[in-house]
Amino acid sequence: MAISTVNTQVTVWRGNDASGNIWASYRNGPPYRLTGQTFDAPVVVPWGAGGFAMFHTGVDNVIYWQTSNSGTENSWSGWVPVRGPDGVAQTTPFGVSAANFGVGHERQLYLAYRSNDNRANIFGAFFDGVRWTNGVNLGGVTGYSPAVTFNVAAQTLYIVHTGVSGEIFYSASRYGSHPGPWFGLGGVVYSRPSIASLDNGRMQIAARGTNDRAWWLELGPYGSVYRDWQEDSSHVDAFNSSYILVVAILNTVVAYARASAGGYIYTKNTWNGQ
């Protein structure tokens, strides 16, 4: 789910069946089906003046993307592979994560994904508003998808991933460069992470713990731990979603997760940055 620069909203998801169909909704209106099939969660981020960019991993493991100037049905440009100057389509066995660079750079994006081989490294690609760079190996080893956010207050890009031991790691870089070395944040989780940043620069990382409960960690704008890992005890049922999704909506972090009992999607406001 994403909010555009003019406060319109688009939500995108994979159908709850074996079809792999991709669905979207504009301003919480009636769902509409998009073309293409995926085996993992698609993602959407703000793009341009009031528009959106959407990504999914196809059943051929190719990363596809499309844009819309509004987010309404029939306004999308159509799926094309993410390709750098070398012409090679970027691939991954999992879903991807994307971030927009904010005011002044509304058409620029960063894409984070896991390599499509047994090295299991994290890769990043930058879209400068016209074209994509080739994928860059950022190191790290993970069995899941990484997650990325752009911290507007610090003008810093953050990528997080779950290491092979279950610990969460992060890497950061100032605008215009690829993230540098990885730093451990502790924790033992059983899913890919997600990360959201607020206007004041504080960030929340979410993941599913080994007890299938949601766990949170908060960071300051420059990567220092603001509040260490804590379990969310407000939901009594276990979660079986592949990850706990957190997004920043109107300067509040909102979480989404699927419960084991009944398969229902639950959501809650998790943090206001204080």
Taking the CA atoms of 160, 14, 272 and 110 in sequence, report the sign of the dihedral they define: positive
pLDDT in 10s for each residue of the chain, 274 residues: 888 888 899 999 999 888 999 999 999 999 999 999 998 999 999 999 999 999 999 999 999 999 999 999 999 999 999 999 999 999 999 999 999 999 999 999 999 999 999 999 999 999 999 999 999 999 999 999 999 999 999 999 999 999 999 999 999 998 878 888 999 999 999 899 999 999 999 999 999 998 888 999 999 999 999 999 999 887 766 777 778 898 988 789 999 888 777 677 888 898 887 7
What are the chain's domains? Answer: 140-274 (2.120.10.70)
Residue 177 CB-density burial (10 A; 0-12 exposed, 13-18 middle, 19+ buried): exposed
CB burial readout 198-233, b (16+ within 10 A) else e: beebbbbbbbbbeeebbbbbbbbbebeebeebeebe
Please give the DSSP secondary-structure letter assigned to residue 132: B
Q: Do 163 and 141 form a contact (C-beta atoms < 8 A)?
A: yes
